[in-house]
Structure 1
Amino acid sequence: MRKSFVIALGAALAGCSLMPDYQRPEPPVAAQWPQTAQPDGARKATELDWRNFFPDQRLQALIAATLEHNRDLRIAAARVEESRALHGITRADRLPNVDVAASGQATRTPGDLSPTRKANTAHRYDVGFSLLSFELDFWGRVKSLDEAALSSFLATEEAGRALRLSLISEVANAYFTLLEMYERTQLARETVKSREETRTLIARRREVGLAGDLDFLQADGALEQVRADYASLQTQQAAASNALALLVGQQPSSLPDGRRLKDQGIVADLAADLSAEVLLQRPDVLAAEKRLIAANANIGAARAAFLPRISLTAGLGTASSALSGLFGGGSESWNFQPALRLPLFDAGRSAAGVDLAEARKVIAVAEYEKTIQQAFREVADLLAARTYLVEQLRAQQAAEKAQNERLRLAEARYKAGVTSHLEVLDAQRESFSAQQATVQTRHAWLTAAAQLYKALGGGGL
């Protein structure tokens, strides 16, 4: 009873508004990015269409097919429509619902119940409009429910947009992974061929006494090892292809030619200004905020349960004892039934409803702040990766070049009889590892670029 009185008094003082004023929580992150994250860039991700960010036409075709056929996206789109319909149902309660009805009734009264002691039969026919239990929303209960339903719909819409953006990034990552495995498999195939030639050469040198059994066994072991690597890479390539097919949902009948990893042409010059400005534009953050607004509105609806509820029922039409007299003079009929319901005792149900709504708002605030914190870390990590992976790739390419030159010199020294095959074998291993590492680093940079486009709330959706 005390909580009911406090809420009623607050409603009177606040002009019958029971929904708390919404104030966006301050982002629980630093205003600036860490020093390791370089936010400079020429383009804003939110204004950049994904087709312009990913210039590979084959990748564009795969992304377009994913957005059309992916089952998760279909589910998300259906949920958006479901939420839109629920909002429409809630919004309809803010306006009167008017029905038109026609009815007929025949009643026979037996003689022992009739004042005239004679049995009689009465007929009644009605046609008219009726207004059933329209609530006068003095305390904003229906308005609060409408606000909550609208915010839930908008949250679902933003969640669908976040899923679309995530799918674009995932398809790009899966495509780059497939390209990586293809290129590494090609390197392994070429290495197998090269080491077969080396073993054949050593076998011939052994026949004429220029090489021993140890050299041959070393060459044969190196060949079998790279054959094992080749088989493993083929397995990974098949898995990457299957993962991409699952994301796409339905493989297009024809695809344009694609590009190699080094020819993707992605320019990751995406700007990340102040952290709060960037993060608040992400669809997942927007969805979390809409859910918070819905929780805030539900508090107003819960508080209104303590106050009187006034509803109106009314009808206007015509009535007659005969069908022919329905629209005759004097057949007009009407009814008006206002009703007031004031809760007196509900065993704490209304108070528990307010406590529940307030607890859910606390949860929504925490989830909103957690979403922003996770987004801050994701963007900061990817900004750092964008910078350092470029340096890593540059160094890795230089290392590959040096190892390839070392291999060339080692093979020349071995053919001239200056060094043993062990030096050649070591140079082959280092060269193969360097080539594989270069492809892996290039893939890592492209993946970071695709994820950064998603993390900054890429546009064109």
Structure 2
Amino acid sequence: MRRLALALAAVSLTSCSLAPKYARPDLPVPPSWPVGDAYLRQSEASLPSITYAQVFTDPRLQRIIVEALANNRDLRIAAANIETARNQYRIQRAELFPQIDATARYGYSGGGNGARSSTGSGTGSTGGTTTGTGTTGGTGTGTGTVTTGSTSSSNSSYSASLGTTAFEIDLFGRIRSLTTAAQNRYFGTEAAARATRLTLVGDIADAWLTYAADRSLLKIAQDTAASAQRTVDLTAARLRAGVAPRTDVRQAEQILETARADVAQLTTALAQDVNGLQLLVGAPVDPALLPASIESAFPTVAALPAGIDSTILLRRPDVVQSEYELRATNAEIGAARAELFPRVALTGLLGFASSALSSLFAGGAFNYSVAPSASYPIFRAGAGLANVRVSQAQRDAALASYERAIQTAFRETADALARQGTLDAQLGANRRNEAAAADTFRLAEARYRGGIDPFLARLDAQRSLYTAQRTVVQTQLIGASNRVTLYRVLGGDQTLSDRPVERASSALLNR
């Protein structure tokens, strides 16, 4: 009996598979990044191995990221999803092994007038009963009966047994294909968690840089308001002296009130930036970790060159997740095909029975039985073939989703590279424009005070300077955010881009 059980288990574990052989599809994108005036020459350099600490070099930002990785609720949800997927895989894998039930029984019948008889039994289970989402195991039952009547004898009976009921021998790989599908969905869930972490790091960097830009814009608005207040005081004094018209005072007040409105709006924006950053971190953020200006924060975000080979997109977590889903649907084709073949099941029982408890485990009390069975669907009105076609259609949909994920990743990376290629020229032009606007304002101020130019010329110069200063800040924020985008679209950290779950899976499979 033991040899037979071991042989059947071995047959089940080494069954054939009817799933199509998986082959990674060709990349539906060009083999290299676009080239041209919008792209950097260094796009032909190889992509270095990076970590977020190499990209975001400011120690304050690194500390915020560390706190977020420990406290963010989205990461905790992702960790719970991984645990769920891992145990769903284990539930499915348990069907490869027989469920063993233990049963003990006692019976008694008595003789004489008004005699009575009673029986009792109990069962226990080692193993589990697999359902779609969970397992029930370790069950126990008991029954008893009492009868009255007339009999002339009495006796007791004892029995103990171990058995398995309807254990499916996986000759055609149905259960193993379903197990493979569950395993790949587990791996896909881990890839989704890496995508969540990658997005979180990028969002924190963006929020930190946005706060820095708003701090710079607030200082510009405050400086402009202070300058406009001095101008209003000067023109009001000239009005009282009869030197300047009332229109000069009103025009100066327009600049002042515009700057004051920007100060109020940016004060609100800074508070909201902190609130958003605290939500991402999942805990209060130390104000000492916040940047003072975009001018100081922008240089701390390192630029990343892109690799010439677009296959690096295969390391993006969202692409990895799509490929695991494709593998899972490919395995489900094998399970659907196996449904077309007979199912072979085994029911076995071995145990002891005796009329005396002291001789229950004697040699003569041993008995066993084996009852193999096979079932084959004769007529299902085409449901079996339709199920195969459903799984094939789902595989085709997963393939299209996988290719779309790669194409989307290619487009996002190419867009980021195009922006990076022209950003330095744009920032340089904006800074030169700011310097020219500042010099124009100084000259217009001097000419107005000297009575050479009207106040309108000075007013226009101040407005131009204010706009130029804000544009430089916004361009610096765009440049820093573009580097964050490149970090994300190229897959982020090497620890997030590799496939450690495949290397770690062997330990899980051997448990």
Superposed displacement of residue 428, structure 1: 0.6
8 Å CA contact retained: 1:132, 1:313: yes
Matching residue of 1:354: 388
**Where do residues 328-367 of structure 1 align in structure 2 (5 Å cutoff)?**
328-367=362-401
Superposed displacement of residue 140, structure 1: 0.9
Match of 2:416 among 369, 382, 388: 382
Structure 1 residues 48 and 444: CA distance shift in structure 2, 3 A: same
Structure in which a larger fraction of residues adopt strand = 2
Matching residue of 1:213: 246
Match of 1:164 among 194, 197, 207: 197
Kindly tell me the number of residue pairs found equivalent between the two proteins.
440
**Where do residues 261-300 of structure 1 align in structure 2 (5 Å cutoff)?**
261-264=294-297, 265-275=300-310, 277-300=311-334
Matching residue of 1:239: 272
8 Å CA contact retained: 1:80, 1:153: yes
Higher relative contact order (CA 8 A, sep 6+): 1
Matching residue of 1:12: none
Matching residue of 1:22: 22
Find the aligned partners of 1:283 and 1:402 in 2 and give their Cα distance.
46
Superposed displacement of residue 270, structure 1: 2.9
8 Å CA contact retained: 1:180, 1:440: yes
Superposed displacement of residue 97, structure 1: 3.2
Superposed displacement of residue 260, structure 1: 3.1
Match of 1:40 among 40, 43, 50: 43
8 Å CA contact retained: 1:56, 1:258: no
* Residue type of the alignment partner of 1:66: A
Structure 1 residues 259 and 120: CA distance shift in structure 2, 3 A: farther
* Residue type of the alignment partner of 1:268: A
Find the aligned partners of 1:124 and 1:254 in 2 and give their Cα distance.
79
TM-score scaled by length of structure 2:
0.81
Provide the secondary structure at the position in 2 that maps to 1:243. Answer: helix
Superposed displacement of residue 452, structure 1: 0.6
Structure 1 residues 123 and 366: CA distance shift in structure 2, 3 A: farther
Find the aligned partners of 1:197 and 1:26 in 2 and give their Cα distance.
67
Structure 1 gaps, min length 5: 1-14, 112-116
8 Å CA contact retained: 2:54, 2:302: no
Structure 1 residues 118 and 44: CA distance shift in structure 2, 3 A: same
8 Å CA contact retained: 1:270, 1:453: no
Find the aligned partners of 1:292 and 1:202 in 2 and give their Cα distance.
73
Find the aligned partners of 2:110 and 2:286 in 1 and give their Cα distance.
75
* Residue type of the alignment partner of 2:64: L
Matching residue of 1:6: none
* Residue type of the alignment partner of 1:417: G
Superposed displacement of residue 417, structure 1: 1.5
Superposed displacement of residue 240, structure 1: 2.5
Find the aligned partners of 1:231 and 1:213 in 2 and give their Cα distance.
27
Matching residue of 1:88: 90
Match of 2:425 among 378, 391, 404: 391
Superposed displacement of residue 63, structure 1: 1.7
Find the aligned partners of 2:109 and 2:64 in 1 and give their Cα distance.
72
Superposed displacement of residue 444, structure 1: 0.6
Find the aligned partners of 2:82 and 2:284 in 1 and give their Cα distance.
26
Structure 2 gaps, min length 5: 1-14, 116-149, 497-511
Matching residue of 1:73: 75
Superposed displacement of residue 303, structure 1: 0.8
Match of 1:420 among 444, 449, 454: 454
Deviations 1:267-312 (A, max 9, x none): 213332211x111111110110000000000000011111011111
Structure 1 residues 150 and 106: CA distance shift in structure 2, 3 A: farther
Structure 1 residues 431 and 317: CA distance shift in structure 2, 3 A: same
Q: What RMSD, in angstroms, separates the aligned Cα atoms of the two structures?
A: 2.3
Provide the secondary structure at the position in 1 that maps to 2:160. Answer: strand
TM-score scaled by length of structure 1:
0.89
Provide the secondary structure at the position in 2 that maps to 1:93. Answer: helix
Structure 1 residues 297 and 398: CA distance shift in structure 2, 3 A: same
Provide the secondary structure at the position in 1 that maps to 2:451. Answer: coil
